[in-house]
Amino acid sequence: MTTRLVGQDSSDRGGIGADSETNTTLSVNDLKVHFPISSGFLIRRQTGAVKAVDGVSFDVAPGETLGLVGESGSGKTTTGRAILQLQRPTSGSVQFRGVELTAVSAKQMRPFRSEMQIIFQDPYGSLNPRMSAGQIVGEPLTVHGLAGDKNQRRDRVAELLERVGMNPAMIGRYPHEFSGGQRQRIGIARALAGEPSFIVCDEPVSALDVSIQAQILNLLTDLQAEFNISYLFIAHDLSVVRHISDRVAVMYLGKIMELASSEDLYENPTHPYTRALMSAVPIPDPILERRRERIVLAGDIPSPINPPSGCVFRTRCPIATEECAEVVPELIDRGNRHQVACIKV
Protein backbone atom coordinates (compact mmCIF):
# COMPACT_ATOMS: atom_id res chain seq x y z
CA MET A 1 0.00 0.00 0.00
CA THR A 2 2.80 2.40 0.84
CA THR A 3 4.28 2.85 -2.59
CA ARG A 4 1.03 3.01 -4.47
CA LEU A 5 -0.67 6.06 -5.82
CA VAL A 6 -4.02 5.94 -4.13
CA GLY A 7 -6.72 8.31 -3.15
CA GLN A 8 -6.95 10.06 -6.48
CA ASP A 9 -10.24 11.92 -6.51
CA SER A 10 -12.66 9.73 -8.35
CA SER A 11 -15.00 12.57 -9.31
CA ASP A 12 -12.79 13.41 -12.28
CA ARG A 13 -14.24 10.36 -13.95
CA GLY A 14 -17.57 12.10 -13.96
CA GLY A 15 -19.10 8.87 -12.77
CA ILE A 16 -22.34 8.27 -11.01
CA GLY A 17 -22.72 8.57 -7.32
CA ALA A 18 -19.19 9.88 -7.07
CA ASP A 19 -18.60 10.58 -3.44
CA SER A 20 -15.40 12.47 -2.90
CA GLU A 21 -15.89 12.30 0.89
CA THR A 22 -15.42 8.56 1.20
CA ASN A 23 -12.16 6.93 0.29
CA THR A 24 -13.62 3.57 -0.53
CA THR A 25 -14.58 2.36 -3.96
CA LEU A 26 -16.41 -0.64 -2.68
CA SER A 27 -17.81 -1.56 0.67
CA VAL A 28 -19.31 -5.01 1.26
CA ASN A 29 -21.16 -5.72 4.47
CA ASP A 30 -22.44 -9.05 5.81
CA LEU A 31 -23.05 -10.26 2.27
CA LYS A 32 -24.96 -13.52 1.96
CA VAL A 33 -25.84 -15.54 -1.11
CA HIS A 34 -27.87 -18.67 -0.39
CA PHE A 35 -29.01 -20.81 -3.30
CA PRO A 36 -32.31 -22.51 -2.47
CA ILE A 37 -32.53 -26.27 -2.90
CA SER A 38 -36.02 -27.49 -3.60
CA SER A 39 -37.44 -30.96 -3.76
CA GLY A 40 -40.78 -32.62 -4.24
CA PHE A 41 -42.34 -33.77 -7.49
CA LEU A 42 -45.60 -31.91 -7.94
CA ILE A 43 -45.28 -29.35 -5.22
CA ARG A 44 -41.71 -28.10 -5.15
CA ARG A 45 -40.70 -26.56 -1.91
CA GLN A 46 -37.49 -25.27 -0.54
CA THR A 47 -35.85 -27.89 1.64
CA GLY A 48 -32.48 -26.29 2.22
CA ALA A 49 -29.91 -23.90 0.85
CA VAL A 50 -26.37 -23.84 -0.43
CA LYS A 51 -24.72 -21.20 1.73
CA ALA A 52 -22.27 -20.17 -0.99
CA VAL A 53 -21.49 -16.81 0.63
CA ASP A 54 -22.39 -16.52 4.28
CA GLY A 55 -21.69 -13.14 5.86
CA VAL A 56 -18.74 -11.59 4.08
CA SER A 57 -17.51 -8.02 4.77
CA PHE A 58 -14.63 -6.02 3.29
CA ASP A 59 -13.70 -2.69 1.70
CA VAL A 60 -11.70 -1.87 -1.39
CA ALA A 61 -9.99 1.53 -1.69
CA PRO A 62 -9.44 3.36 -4.98
CA GLY A 63 -6.50 1.90 -6.86
CA GLU A 64 -6.24 -0.96 -4.39
CA THR A 65 -6.16 -4.69 -5.06
CA LEU A 66 -7.96 -6.93 -2.64
CA GLY A 67 -7.07 -10.58 -3.19
CA LEU A 68 -9.73 -13.20 -2.50
CA VAL A 69 -8.20 -16.61 -2.06
CA GLY A 70 -9.73 -19.93 -1.13
CA GLU A 71 -10.20 -23.46 -2.31
CA SER A 72 -12.73 -24.67 -4.84
CA GLY A 73 -16.30 -24.00 -3.77
CA SER A 74 -15.40 -21.52 -1.05
CA GLY A 75 -17.64 -18.87 -2.65
CA LYS A 76 -15.15 -16.59 -4.40
CA THR A 77 -16.92 -16.38 -7.76
CA THR A 78 -20.32 -16.00 -6.12
CA THR A 79 -18.96 -13.09 -4.05
CA GLY A 80 -17.69 -11.40 -7.21
CA ARG A 81 -20.97 -11.94 -9.05
CA ALA A 82 -23.02 -10.68 -6.10
CA ILE A 83 -20.96 -7.47 -5.97
CA LEU A 84 -21.71 -6.84 -9.64
CA GLN A 85 -25.39 -7.76 -9.05
CA LEU A 86 -25.07 -10.50 -11.66
CA GLN A 87 -26.33 -12.61 -8.79
CA ARG A 88 -28.67 -10.78 -6.45
CA PRO A 89 -27.53 -11.24 -2.84
CA THR A 90 -29.83 -12.94 -0.33
CA SER A 91 -28.98 -10.22 2.20
CA GLY A 92 -26.32 -7.74 3.12
CA SER A 93 -25.05 -4.58 1.56
CA VAL A 94 -22.85 -3.73 -1.42
CA GLN A 95 -21.96 -0.07 -1.71
CA PHE A 96 -20.14 1.15 -4.78
CA ARG A 97 -18.86 4.71 -4.37
CA GLY A 98 -21.58 5.38 -1.89
CA VAL A 99 -24.47 3.85 -3.84
CA GLU A 100 -26.29 0.84 -2.39
CA LEU A 101 -26.30 -1.50 -5.38
CA THR A 102 -28.62 -4.05 -3.81
CA ALA A 103 -31.37 -1.40 -3.94
CA VAL A 104 -30.71 -0.45 -7.57
CA SER A 105 -33.03 -1.88 -10.22
CA ALA A 106 -31.67 -3.82 -13.18
CA LYS A 107 -32.34 -0.84 -15.43
CA GLN A 108 -30.63 1.59 -13.08
CA MET A 109 -27.61 -0.74 -12.99
CA ARG A 110 -26.80 0.20 -16.59
CA PRO A 111 -24.25 2.99 -15.91
CA PHE A 112 -22.57 0.83 -13.28
CA ARG A 113 -22.11 -1.91 -15.84
CA SER A 114 -19.42 0.09 -17.58
CA GLU A 115 -17.74 1.31 -14.40
CA MET A 116 -17.60 -2.15 -12.85
CA GLN A 117 -16.15 -4.80 -15.09
CA ILE A 118 -15.25 -8.48 -14.86
CA ILE A 119 -12.46 -10.55 -16.39
CA PHE A 120 -12.97 -14.30 -16.46
CA GLN A 121 -10.75 -17.33 -16.04
CA ASP A 122 -11.63 -18.96 -19.30
CA PRO A 123 -11.15 -16.32 -21.96
CA TYR A 124 -12.33 -18.78 -24.59
CA GLY A 125 -15.65 -19.46 -22.98
CA SER A 126 -16.30 -15.81 -22.24
CA LEU A 127 -15.65 -14.42 -25.71
CA ASN A 128 -18.34 -14.72 -28.37
CA PRO A 129 -16.82 -17.04 -31.01
CA ARG A 130 -18.73 -15.32 -33.83
CA MET A 131 -17.38 -11.87 -33.07
CA SER A 132 -14.01 -10.57 -34.22
CA ALA A 133 -11.51 -9.15 -31.74
CA GLY A 134 -12.49 -5.67 -32.89
CA GLN A 135 -16.22 -6.30 -32.37
CA ILE A 136 -15.63 -7.84 -28.95
CA VAL A 137 -13.60 -4.90 -27.71
CA GLY A 138 -15.83 -2.33 -29.46
CA GLU A 139 -19.16 -3.64 -28.18
CA PRO A 140 -19.02 -1.93 -24.76
CA LEU A 141 -18.19 1.36 -26.51
CA THR A 142 -21.48 1.18 -28.40
CA VAL A 143 -23.55 -0.15 -25.53
CA HIS A 144 -22.39 2.56 -23.15
CA GLY A 145 -22.23 5.29 -25.79
CA LEU A 146 -18.53 5.84 -25.23
CA ALA A 147 -17.42 6.17 -28.83
CA GLY A 148 -18.57 8.83 -31.28
CA ASP A 149 -18.63 7.87 -34.95
CA LYS A 150 -17.35 4.77 -36.66
CA ASN A 151 -13.83 6.07 -37.13
CA GLN A 152 -13.48 7.18 -33.54
CA ARG A 153 -14.69 3.79 -32.44
CA ARG A 154 -12.20 2.05 -34.66
CA ASP A 155 -9.33 4.18 -33.39
CA ARG A 156 -10.32 3.55 -29.80
CA VAL A 157 -10.46 -0.22 -30.35
CA ALA A 158 -7.01 -0.15 -31.96
CA GLU A 159 -5.71 1.93 -29.07
CA LEU A 160 -7.15 -0.52 -26.51
CA LEU A 161 -5.68 -3.53 -28.29
CA GLU A 162 -2.32 -1.84 -28.44
CA ARG A 163 -2.52 -0.97 -24.77
CA VAL A 164 -2.89 -4.65 -23.83
CA GLY A 165 0.08 -5.59 -25.98
CA MET A 166 -1.69 -6.78 -29.12
CA ASN A 167 -1.07 -5.85 -32.69
CA PRO A 168 -4.07 -3.76 -33.88
CA ALA A 169 -3.69 -5.51 -37.25
CA MET A 170 -5.32 -8.52 -35.55
CA ILE A 171 -8.57 -6.60 -35.21
CA GLY A 172 -10.43 -8.80 -37.70
CA ARG A 173 -9.43 -12.15 -36.24
CA TYR A 174 -11.74 -14.46 -34.28
CA PRO A 175 -11.21 -15.93 -30.79
CA HIS A 176 -10.22 -19.40 -32.03
CA GLU A 177 -7.33 -17.86 -33.95
CA PHE A 178 -5.70 -16.59 -30.76
CA SER A 179 -3.67 -18.29 -28.05
CA GLY A 180 -4.94 -18.42 -24.47
CA GLY A 181 -2.76 -15.48 -23.46
CA GLN A 182 -3.94 -13.39 -26.40
CA ARG A 183 -7.59 -14.18 -25.62
CA GLN A 184 -7.05 -13.02 -22.06
CA ARG A 185 -5.58 -9.77 -23.42
CA ILE A 186 -8.73 -9.30 -25.54
CA GLY A 187 -10.88 -9.88 -22.46
CA ILE A 188 -8.88 -7.22 -20.62
CA ALA A 189 -9.15 -4.76 -23.52
CA ARG A 190 -12.90 -5.26 -23.54
CA ALA A 191 -13.08 -4.60 -19.80
CA LEU A 192 -10.97 -1.46 -20.23
CA ALA A 193 -13.28 -0.16 -22.96
CA GLY A 194 -15.87 0.75 -20.35
CA GLU A 195 -13.31 2.93 -18.53
CA PRO A 196 -13.93 1.06 -15.30
CA SER A 197 -12.89 2.14 -11.84
CA PHE A 198 -13.38 -1.36 -10.48
CA ILE A 199 -12.70 -4.78 -12.02
CA VAL A 200 -13.48 -8.22 -10.64
CA CYS A 201 -10.66 -10.43 -11.94
CA ASP A 202 -11.95 -13.99 -11.54
CA GLU A 203 -8.97 -16.34 -11.86
CA PRO A 204 -7.64 -14.34 -14.82
CA VAL A 205 -4.35 -16.22 -15.08
CA SER A 206 -5.24 -19.69 -13.76
CA ALA A 207 -5.50 -21.24 -17.22
CA LEU A 208 -2.28 -19.73 -18.53
CA ASP A 209 1.28 -21.00 -18.67
CA VAL A 210 3.69 -19.38 -16.25
CA SER A 211 5.55 -17.30 -18.83
CA ILE A 212 2.25 -15.94 -20.19
CA GLN A 213 0.81 -15.60 -16.69
CA ALA A 214 3.69 -13.27 -15.80
CA GLN A 215 2.98 -11.13 -18.86
CA ILE A 216 -0.70 -10.76 -17.91
CA LEU A 217 0.03 -10.06 -14.22
CA ASN A 218 2.46 -7.34 -15.24
CA LEU A 219 -0.13 -5.90 -17.63
CA LEU A 220 -2.81 -5.79 -14.91
CA THR A 221 -0.36 -4.07 -12.55
CA ASP A 222 0.54 -1.46 -15.18
CA LEU A 223 -3.09 -0.75 -16.07
CA GLN A 224 -3.96 -0.27 -12.44
CA ALA A 225 -1.15 2.23 -11.94
CA GLU A 226 -2.14 4.09 -15.09
CA PHE A 227 -5.90 4.29 -14.55
CA ASN A 228 -6.15 3.97 -10.77
CA ILE A 229 -8.47 0.96 -11.06
CA SER A 230 -9.47 -1.09 -8.01
CA TYR A 231 -9.30 -4.85 -8.38
CA LEU A 232 -11.01 -7.67 -6.58
CA PHE A 233 -8.53 -10.35 -7.59
CA ILE A 234 -9.96 -13.86 -7.18
CA ALA A 235 -7.65 -16.87 -7.32
CA HIS A 236 -6.91 -20.15 -5.63
CA ASP A 237 -3.16 -19.68 -6.08
CA LEU A 238 -1.78 -17.95 -3.00
CA SER A 239 1.53 -17.09 -4.61
CA VAL A 240 -0.24 -15.20 -7.39
CA VAL A 241 -2.57 -13.49 -4.94
CA ARG A 242 0.28 -12.41 -2.71
CA HIS A 243 2.12 -11.03 -5.69
CA ILE A 244 -0.69 -8.86 -7.01
CA SER A 245 -2.63 -7.85 -3.89
CA ASP A 246 -2.32 -5.06 -1.36
CA ARG A 247 -4.57 -6.93 1.05
CA VAL A 248 -5.76 -10.52 1.02
CA ALA A 249 -8.96 -12.16 2.31
CA VAL A 250 -8.85 -15.94 2.89
CA MET A 251 -12.21 -17.63 2.33
CA TYR A 252 -13.43 -21.02 3.47
CA LEU A 253 -16.99 -22.34 3.04
CA GLY A 254 -18.53 -18.95 2.35
CA LYS A 255 -16.79 -17.11 5.18
CA ILE A 256 -13.69 -14.98 5.55
CA MET A 257 -11.23 -16.64 7.92
CA GLU A 258 -8.53 -14.00 7.84
CA LEU A 259 -7.98 -10.64 6.17
CA ALA A 260 -4.73 -8.70 6.32
CA SER A 261 -2.25 -6.79 4.25
CA SER A 262 -0.39 -9.03 1.86
CA GLU A 263 2.89 -8.62 3.79
CA ASP A 264 1.28 -9.17 7.15
CA LEU A 265 -0.64 -12.26 6.09
CA TYR A 266 2.45 -14.00 4.80
CA GLU A 267 4.77 -12.84 7.58
CA ASN A 268 2.28 -13.55 10.29
CA PRO A 269 -0.46 -16.00 9.25
CA THR A 270 -2.70 -16.45 12.26
CA HIS A 271 -5.76 -18.55 11.40
CA PRO A 272 -5.01 -22.31 11.40
CA TYR A 273 -6.59 -22.56 7.94
CA THR A 274 -4.35 -19.85 6.51
CA ARG A 275 -1.33 -21.55 8.03
CA ALA A 276 -2.25 -24.92 6.53
CA LEU A 277 -3.04 -23.39 3.16
CA MET A 278 0.26 -21.57 3.07
CA SER A 279 2.27 -24.59 4.08
CA ALA A 280 0.62 -26.59 1.27
CA VAL A 281 1.85 -24.14 -1.37
CA PRO A 282 5.27 -25.27 -2.53
CA ILE A 283 7.98 -22.67 -3.18
CA PRO A 284 10.22 -23.18 -6.22
CA ASP A 285 13.35 -23.59 -4.13
CA PRO A 286 14.33 -27.16 -3.14
CA ILE A 287 16.76 -26.15 -0.41
CA LEU A 288 14.19 -23.92 1.28
CA GLU A 289 11.49 -26.59 0.85
CA ARG A 290 13.49 -29.09 2.93
CA ARG A 291 13.31 -26.73 5.90
CA ARG A 292 9.64 -25.74 5.62
CA GLU A 293 6.99 -26.94 7.99
CA ARG A 294 4.32 -29.04 6.26
CA ILE A 295 0.83 -29.04 7.74
CA VAL A 296 -1.25 -31.64 5.92
CA LEU A 297 -4.98 -31.21 6.45
CA ALA A 298 -7.06 -34.37 6.58
CA GLY A 299 -10.23 -34.87 4.61
CA ASP A 300 -12.28 -32.74 2.24
CA ILE A 301 -14.05 -29.42 2.39
CA PRO A 302 -17.52 -30.14 3.85
CA SER A 303 -20.63 -29.48 1.80
CA PRO A 304 -21.95 -25.90 1.91
CA ILE A 305 -25.45 -27.37 2.22
CA ASN A 306 -24.69 -28.66 5.70
CA PRO A 307 -21.76 -26.64 6.92
CA PRO A 308 -20.37 -27.62 10.34
CA SER A 309 -21.87 -25.79 13.30
CA GLY A 310 -19.80 -23.14 15.01
CA CYS A 311 -16.59 -22.60 13.12
CA VAL A 312 -16.93 -24.06 9.60
CA PHE A 313 -13.25 -25.05 9.56
CA ARG A 314 -13.34 -27.03 12.80
CA THR A 315 -13.78 -30.47 11.15
CA ARG A 316 -10.34 -30.17 9.56
CA CYS A 317 -8.71 -27.92 12.10
CA PRO A 318 -5.67 -29.29 13.95
CA ILE A 319 -6.39 -27.22 17.09
CA ALA A 320 -10.20 -27.34 17.29
CA THR A 321 -11.90 -28.16 20.59
CA GLU A 322 -15.53 -28.80 21.54
CA GLU A 323 -16.06 -25.10 22.05
CA CYS A 324 -15.45 -24.53 18.32
CA ALA A 325 -18.62 -26.48 17.51
CA GLU A 326 -20.69 -24.01 19.52
CA VAL A 327 -19.29 -20.57 18.86
CA VAL A 328 -19.34 -18.94 15.44
CA PRO A 329 -16.06 -17.00 15.50
CA GLU A 330 -16.30 -13.37 14.51
CA LEU A 331 -13.82 -11.70 12.21
CA ILE A 332 -12.02 -9.51 14.72
CA ASP A 333 -9.39 -6.86 14.12
CA ARG A 334 -6.23 -7.84 16.01
CA GLY A 335 -4.60 -4.49 15.32
CA ASN A 336 -2.96 -3.14 12.20
CA ARG A 337 -6.17 -4.03 10.28
CA HIS A 338 -5.25 -7.71 10.58
CA GLN A 339 -8.59 -9.51 11.02
CA VAL A 340 -8.91 -13.13 12.16
CA ALA A 341 -11.96 -15.33 12.80
CA CYS A 342 -10.79 -17.90 15.35
CA ILE A 343 -11.37 -18.31 19.06
CA LYS A 344 -8.26 -20.46 19.55
CA VAL A 345 -5.50 -18.15 18.41
Partner 1 sequence: MTPDLPTAKAGSTHLLEVRNLATRFATSGGYVQAVDGVSFHIDEGEILGLVGESGCGKSVTSLSVMRLIPNPPGEITDGEVLFEGTDLRQISEQEMRRVRGGSIGMIFQEPMTSLNPVLTVGRQITEAFEIHLDLKGRAARDRAVEILNRVGLPDPSKKFDDYPHQLSGGQRQRAMIAMAISCNPRLLIADEATTALDVTIQAQILELLQSLCDEFKMALLIITHNLGVVARYAQRVAVMYAGKIIESGTADEIYAAPQHPYTTGLLSSVPRLDASARDRLESIEGEIPDLANLPAGCAFEPRCRWAVDRCGIESPVQLPVRLSQGRLAEGTVHQVACWESENIAAGTALEKQPS
Residues making contact with partner 1 (CB under 8 A): 3, 71-72, 179, 181-182, 209-215, 217-218, 221, 236, 238-240, 242-246, 262-263, 266, 276-289, 294, 296-301
Rounded CA-CA distance 279/292 in Å is 8
Site residues, Mg ion (CB under 5 A): 77
CB 124 within 8 A of CB 116: no
User: CA 228: distance to chain centroid?
Assistant: 17
304 is a site residue for ligand ATP (CB under 6 A)? yes
Rounded CA-CA distance 52/198 in Å is 23
85 is a site residue for ligand ATP (CB under 6 A)? no
Nearer to ligand ATP, 37 or 327 (CB): 37
Question: Residue 3 Cβ, how far from partner 1 at the closest point, in Å?
Answer: 7
Question: Residue 55 Cβ, how far from ligand ATP at the closest point, in Å?
Answer: 14
User: In the set 29, 35, 93, 180, which binds ligand ATP (CB under 6 A)?
Assistant: 35
Q: Scanning residues 233 to 272, which ones bind ligand ATP (CB under 6 A)?
A: 236
Candidates 70-78, 88-96, 97-105, 211-219; binding stretch for ligand ATP (CB under 6 A): 70-78
Candidates 71-79, 151-159, 274-282, 335-343; binding stretch for ligand ATP (CB under 6 A): 71-79
User: Binds 283, which of Mg ion, partner 1, ligand ATP, none (CB < 5 to 8 A, cut-off by type)?
Assistant: partner 1
Helix axes 133-143, 150-163, angle to 10 degrees: 120
Rounded CA-CA distance 5/260 in Å is 20
Rounded CA-CA distance 238/316 in Å is 20
Evaluated on CA atoms 199, 203, 204, 210, the torsion sign reads: positive
User: In the set 27, 63, 67, 76, which binds ligand ATP (CB under 6 A)?
Assistant: 76
User: In the set 2, 3, 72, 151, which binds ligand ATP (CB under 6 A)?
Assistant: 72
Nearer to partner 1, 151 or 211 (CB): 211
Nearer to ligand ATP, 2 or 72 (CB): 72
Nearer to partner 1, 9 or 300 (CB): 300
Judged by phi (left if over 0) then psi (alpha if -120 to 50, else beta), residue 309 lies in beta
Nearer to Mg ion, 120 or 198 (CB): 120
Question: Residue 58 Cβ, how far from ligand ATP at the closest point, in Å?
Answer: 15
Number of Cβ atoms within 10 Å of the Cβ of 41: 5
Q: Which residue is nearest to Mg ion, using beta carbons?
A: 77
Query: Residue 341 class from Cβ within 10 Å (0-12 exposed, 13-18 middle, 19+ buried)?
Result: buried
User: Pick from 26, 64, 34: which is nearest to 52 by CA?
Assistant: 34
CB 75 within 8 A of CB 68: no
55 is a site residue for ligand ATP (CB under 6 A)? no
User: In the set 73, 89, 140, 307, which binds ligand ATP (CB under 6 A)?
Assistant: 73
Rounded CA-CA distance 241/268 in Å is 16
* E strand map for the chain: 26-39, 45-60, 65-70, 91-96, 99-100, 116-119, 198-202, 230-235, 247-252, 255-261, 332-333, 339-340
User: Binds 75, which of ligand ATP, Mg ion, partner 1, none (CB < 5 to 8 A, cut-off by type)?
Assistant: ligand ATP
User: In the set 26, 28, 31, 52, which binds ligand ATP (CB under 6 A)?
Assistant: 52
Note the maximum CA span of the chain: 68
| Residues making contact with ligand ATP (CB under 6 A) | 35, 50, 52, 70, 72-78, 236, 304
